[in-house]
Copies of this chain bind each other. A is one copy, B any other.
Amino acid sequence: MELSNVLTLLGNPARMAIAWAVIGGDALPASELAYRAGVTPQTASHHLARMVDGGLLAVERCLRYRYYRLASPAIAEIIEGLMALSDPPVLKDRPDRATVDRLRIARSCYDHLAGSLAVALADALQRKGWLDLQERDYQVTALGENGLVAFGLDVPALRHQQRLFARRCIDWSERRPHIGGALGAALMTRFQESGWIRKNPGDRKIWVSSAGQQGLWKTFDIDATP
């Protein structure tokens, strides 16, 4: 994945609009993307072909429709990183605001939490002295290890995984860091097991249950009410 390629592809307003439309994880048909980007279907098709060719998008055929979505979570991370660097593009006819707001509160980022909930979680764990923010990663303190193990996470096992343990991940909607890596994934899994959050299969939306609101408040001092 060439960064220069990504920049070239996203440097065009129509293609940026397309990328922005599918950033939430939704797969949208070509005609819808053409409408949102403000170009004709032919032009959109041209752009979509380039983006697929450039590895930015993936396409799935379903009957007469072609659904376009981001090619991989890595691409989503790159685009979200770009959003964090500047204001998100102002585009006409943004989809339903409810979806965007929902994503802003909580969504999945690959296999860990993102959105304001994830940022609040990272803040809370630092405030409690469970985490230290180092250069590009988080460190779990002795206090934090006790707390996390008590919460049901096998922290020593997480440390021995091949992947990075607790990556610092920058959020596009918050422009602040949250917890990725093995620890971030384990936390989201634990939240799901506890019934605190519910993940929508197929996209990246996350719902926080009332049990989750209570638990997050009691365990982490996080106010997860909308």
A residues neighboring B (CB under 8 Å): 1-4, 6-13, 16, 77-78, 81-87, 89
Given contacts A78-B86, A81-B84, contact A13 B4 (CB under 8 A): yes
Contact B81 A3 (CB under 8 A): no
CB proximity of A44 to chain B, nearest CB, Å: 17
> How far, in angstroms, from A10 to B83 measured CA to CA in the complex?
15
- B3 A86 Cβ-Cβ under 8 A: yes
| Contact A85:B77 (CB < 8 A) given known A4-B16, A8-B11 | yes
How many copies of this chain does the complex contain? Answer: 2
Residues of B within 8 A of A85 (CB): 3, 77-78, 81-82
Closest Cβ neighbor of A1 among chain B residues = B86
Which residues of chain B have C-beta atoms less than 8 A from A77's C-beta? Answer: 85
Which residue on B lies nearest to A13, using beta carbons? B4
State in angstroms the CA–CA spacing of A83 and B6 once bound together: 12
Residue of B nearest to A9 (CB): B11
Nearest CB on B from A47, distance (A): 14
> Smallest distance from the beta carbon of A108 to chain B beta carbons, Å?
19
Alpha-carbon distance A85/B89, docked complex (angstroms): 19
